[in-house]
Structure 1
Amino acid sequence: MRKVIIIRNKIIYIFIVIMAVIMLCLTTYSENIIMAKSKDDELISNKIKAPFYPWDNELPNIETPEGFQWREFQGTTLNFVVENNINANILSRECRNFTEKTGIRVNIRPMDYSTMINKINNDFISERGKFQLVYVDPYQTLNRFHNNLEDLNLYNNDPRMPHIPGGMEDFFDDQVNILSYFGDKTKLYAIPFDTTTMIFFYRKDIFEKYREQFMAENGFDWTPGQKDFTWERYCIVSKWIDENVPDEEVKYGSAQMAQLHNSVYCDFSNVLESYGGDYFDDPYVNTLGVEKPKMVSIKNNNLEDGLSMYKQMVEVGAPDSINWNWTDTAEAFKNGEIAMMANWDENGAVVENPNLSKVAGKVGYSILPYGNVRSANIYGGAGIGINSNASKIEKKAAWLFIVWATAPQTQSMVLWEPEGGSMPPRKSVYNSKEVQDIIENVKNNTNEISNLNHLPALLEVWKEDNVYFRSKISNFYFIEQIIINNVRDMVKSDLDPKVVADKIFKELSLLQ
């Protein structure tokens, strides 16, 4: 009996020893896991990842300086007036993540372009600082009010503050020059936010169905995107569709946006630049910008050619489009009323949405038609800046929002969301495997994400030979009004393009 007890005690002892060893191993393992996790969290220069997203091994991450507290400015409320586009709409919803982690509330107020510009300008003029965060249009705000914008280098170069992930070099170079600086690169006024660019939309189903018939009658392939698809042929195609395609399939061949609005400036400028024309020829006038241009570069022949072609385009387009802006034209296209339009790429998400569009799955995309020099596709991106009239705390809170809102992970949401599809201004996103796969799938007609079908066309548009950057000058508003008023008068009152060209040249020269 005693022997049994001794054996039993030995077994218990051995069991205890084994359990102790196991516990020691588990403790060591747990400590190793914790240490590994700690090491995984630590980044270069003793920085750790921010609390917003899981660690991304492909895209630059938001880094937190050692000792920095993301809730340092909790309770702060910021106002952000922004153009009503897909970037703003998606950001409004996703901003809850930022508020939960920082305690900073951001009132994002999307509105139409003209109202937004007026509100921003009035806030700067009054110096009230009502809108601490500013949607910085390079041609309406950055050019006129850069002295009212905070120099963001103060925050991006401060080792105690979070920085733009990937640095400014992760943004496309030309877009940074246009959206972030004015005159030189001494001060950083805005961080690139959106990249709206005009591309060509057309009814792929109509073009495929009637292709052979059109070629037999006209002797050329009408597929958009080719170098011989010119504005002149665009007019021929538009007229042919009007005369040969039943209204039940599509009512008009094309439409313009000739309203007394910024839209007619953009619409016409695409055509002018395609014929070799532009407004000024000063160095950097189309990138970093200049205070006051000295070289009026419009030559009457180029200007007259562009005006003549634009007048013809309006004449063959939907009659009501003489009073349309880009929103009206996009509405007509998605409702199946027109077969072709030049418009902002962000409309791709709407026209491919079967709940909103009658033409979903029937749309093709390309660069704009050619003039006698090139295809010119106007760029319309904007940045986010900080109002210099905001308080010190508001400025720092606004900087945290900018770091989050322009991070590649946040901007990628605007690309991947079903109602999104807008390409971020970041090289890292463009070079990511997911984006490259989508581009390849669209080219091979195997893409299943329809709101991204326009991406190859957009990236073709962004090539140096195809993209058109406007003149960025401090008094651009007055120049734009000269173009808007004269082009509008020409198409509305049937004026001679040569007379209008002379008038525009004289009025621009008087501004010097």
Structure 2
Amino acid sequence: MDLSRREVIRGALATGASVALAGCGSHSDAPRIAGGDPWRQFKGATLNFISENTAPTAAIAANLRPFTELTGINVSIVTLELSALVQRVALDLASGQAQYQVIYADPYQVLAPYQKGLVDLRGPQSDPNLPDLPGGLADFIPTQLDAAGRFVDRQAVYALPYDAPTMIWQYRRDLFDKYRDRMANDLGFDPTPGGDRTWEEYFQIARWFNENATSDVRYGTGHQARQHDSLMNDFSNVLWSYGGDYFDNGKEVGRLGTTDPGPCRLGSEAAIAGAEFYNRLLGIADPASTTWDWDGVGAALRSGRLAMCPNWHEFAASNEKAMPGKIDYAPLPKGPVGTANMYGGTGIAISANTLPHERGAAWLFLVWSTSPETQLTNLKSKAGGGTPTRTSVYALPEVRAAEHRPSSMPNMLTAAAVREAWQPDRIGLRPKIPMWNECNTAVFTQLSRMLTGATSPQEAMRSITSRVDQIVARGWVA
């Protein structure tokens, strides 16, 4: 393995890891039975899969029997909060052996910094002794394959798209129906949520609910604006729609990534204008927004506290359980330059520390867990859900039918919105750079200070720019 221990240890410490580096004693490879059914050749093997606690992993964990019956392979799943996962993965990669053969490879905190610790999946895909990916790589949604699976090299693939959470406009359909004519008369425009609405109109709608619908809802809007990764996500939608960006060539830096993004551009007039609007919007939002991440704002919407919010589309399943038929979905509003919907998808990868047979067994799990059949099962799951990352699944008649109520696959109620959000000119992709975790911390720390009034939008953007330039200037040892 060519990933330097120094690089991984430094990365682990940058995320706050304090555990000691694992020992480097040898361990035995998985068994292999030559010939016969290629799905049964690693019968008796055990795989460890480390994942963030996400919808598809919850669904798979609740229904692993089909994979075990198909392959004879046992799978143990460990789920952690993302920052803890990053620490554990970094240390495992540095150990020289794979405690976790299968890795939930967040594009920004795992793939970009530790790409050399992951297997280029073109190898197992071309191995005649291993099953092929059904539909091949071409069946994955192209923007997602690049964002979640590639880094710099346009050919190499280090992860298969596994989940696809995307931020969209979630709103109380019943309240908009009730007040639409009155709002339109008072505001002078059709308030129906959609990609043609502007952020300024979103602000006016939120303020209208604050002032005119207090018997039905406490606040017009709420946000995931805690000093946390969630704040960066929420803000970025506005930033991009105002024409601001983190670096030059932002779409390319977000889609394929780079080790040298150049100077930070958050000090631009467009970025500052976006920050000024965001600060103003949060000024009329539910004050608890600064204590919420995505779970908090999602719970507030479901409890009837909010009329609308931007949030990850996969909350649709929970929304339908709590308020069936009352919440609907649309792309986020547009700004002066365009619209952007933050993509938070992640791929599933294989540790490069795996031994040859372990690697083959892990490939079987990747093929199975991302297959159209498994993605359809996950979509129907009561335990999790998730949304497919394969084009073919969306074309299935039962999946298309589920886009409308009554729906047995409630996440599909967001399909029209996310289809628009995933278009190359609308998908929001944060910078895929090895040092993003540290840059992200600088972003949400200063944004939080801005929202509490400790600094102005202009000062916050300039402070982030200065700090990010320092981080990037240190570079990353490949």
The TM-score normalised by the length of structure 2 is 0.87
Counterpart in the other structure of 1:279 = 246
Contact map agreement 1:231 1:369 (CA 8 A) in 2: yes
Partner of 2:22: none
SS of the equivalent of 1:278 reads coil
Separation in 1, partners of 2:222, 2:170: 11
Alpha-carbon distance in structure 1 between the residues aligned to 2:414 and 2:195: 16
| Bigger Rg, which one | 1
What is the alpha-carbon distance in structure 2 between the residues aligned to residue 410 and residue 448 of structure 1?
Answer: 16
Q: Is the deviation greater in 209-218 or in 293-302?
A: 293-302
Gaps of 5+ in 2: 1-33, 474-478
Shift of 1:466: 1.9
CA distance in 2, matches of 1:181, 1:215: 45
Determine if the alignment matches structure 1 residue 82 to structure 2 residue 51.
yes
Which position in structure 1 is the counterpart of 2:193? 224
Work out the CA distance in 2 between the residues paired with 1:281 and 1:364: 35
Aligned match of 1:112 in 60, 81, 88? 81
Q: Tell me the secondary structure at the aligned position of residue 174 of structure 2.
A: helix
- Partner Cα separation in structure 2 for residue 108 and residue 223 of structure 1: 43
- Determine the structure 2 residue equivalent to 1:508: 468
Amino acid at match of 1:424: P
Q: 1:490 aligns with which of 450, 453, 463?
A: 450
Offset of 1:238 from its aligned partner?
A: 1.6
Any conservation in 2 of the 1:150–1:385 contact (CA below 8 Å)?
yes
CA contact (8 A) 1:423 1:455 kept: no
Query: Structure 1 residue 413 and structure 2 residue 382: aligned?
Result: no
Residue 393 of structure 2 corresponds to 429
The question of 1:326 aligning with 2:323 is answered no
Secondary structure (helix, strand or coil) at the match of 1:169 reads: helix
Shift of 1:462: 1.3
Q: How does 1:233-382 map to 2 (within 5 A)?
A: 233-247=201-215, 249-282=216-249, 284-298=252-266, 300-353=268-321, 357=322, 359-382=323-346
In structure 2, the partner of 1:70 is: 39
CA distance in 2, matches of 1:431, 1:66: 36
Distance (Å, rounded) in 1 between the aligned partners of 2:185 and 2:161? 48
Structure-2 separation of matches of 1:431 and 1:290: 34
Question: What is the alpha-carbon distance in structure 2 between the residues aligned to residue 246 and residue 423 of structure 1?
Answer: 35
Q: Of 103, 110, 113, which aligns to 1:141?
A: 110
CA distance in 2, matches of 1:185, 1:278: 23
CA RMSD of aligned residues (A): 2.1
Q: 1:118 to 1:493 in 2, by over 3 A?
A: farther
Could you tell me whether the CA contact under 8 Å between 2:266 and 2:461 is conserved in 1? no
- Tell me, in whole angstroms, the C-alpha distance in 2 between the residues paired with 1:194 and 1:428: 15
- Match in the other structure for 1:122: 91
Classify the secondary structure of the residue corresponding to 1:82.
strand
Distance 1:123 1:348, change over 3 A: same
Tell me the equivalent position of 1:180: 149
Shift of 1:66: 7.5
CA separation of 1:457/1:282 partners in 2, compared to 1, >3 Å: closer, same or farther?
closer
State how far apart, in whole Å, the 1-side matches of 2:82 and 2:151 are. 21
Structure 1 residues 341 and 121: CA distance shift in structure 2, 3 A: farther
Q: Which one of the candidate residues 191, 197, 200 is aligned to 2:160?
A: 191
What amino acid does structure 1 have at the position aligned with 2:369?
A
Map of 2:429 onto structure 1: 469
CA distance in 2 between counterparts of 1:475 and 1:96 reads 39
Distance 2:37 2:124 in 1: 13
Aligned partners of 2:222 and 2:297 also within 8 Å: yes
1:318 positional shift? 1.1
What SS class does the counterpart of residue 321 from structure 1 fall into? helix
SS across alignment from 1:259: coil
Deviations 1:154-184 (A, max 9, x none): 2110111111111111112221111221110
Say which SS state the counterpart of residue 70 (structure 1) adopts: helix
Q: Which amino acid aligns with 1:303?
A: A
> Is the counterpart of residue 210 in structure 1 residue 179 in structure 2?
yes
Asked whether the equivalents of residues 349 and 419 of structure 1 are also in contact (C-alpha less than 8 Å), the reply is: no
CA contact (8 A) 2:222 2:309 kept: yes
Contact 2:56 2:385 survives alignment (8 Å): no
Amino acid at match of 2:233: C
Tell me, yes or no, if structure 1 residue 481 matches structure 2 residue 448.
Answer: no
**What is the CA distance between 1:450 and its match in structure 2?**
4.4
For residues 86 and 201 of structure 2, what CA distance do their matches in structure 1 show?
36
TM-score by length of 1: 0.81
Shift of 1:407: 0.8
Of residues 381-390 and 266-275 in structure 1, the stretch that sits farther from structure 2 once superposed is 381-390
- What is the number of residues matched between the two proteins? 438
Give the match's secondary structure for 1:205.
Answer: helix
- What's the counterpart of residue 8 of structure 2? none
- Deviation of residue 449 (structure 1)? 5.4
Name structure 1 gaps, 5 residues minimum.
1-64
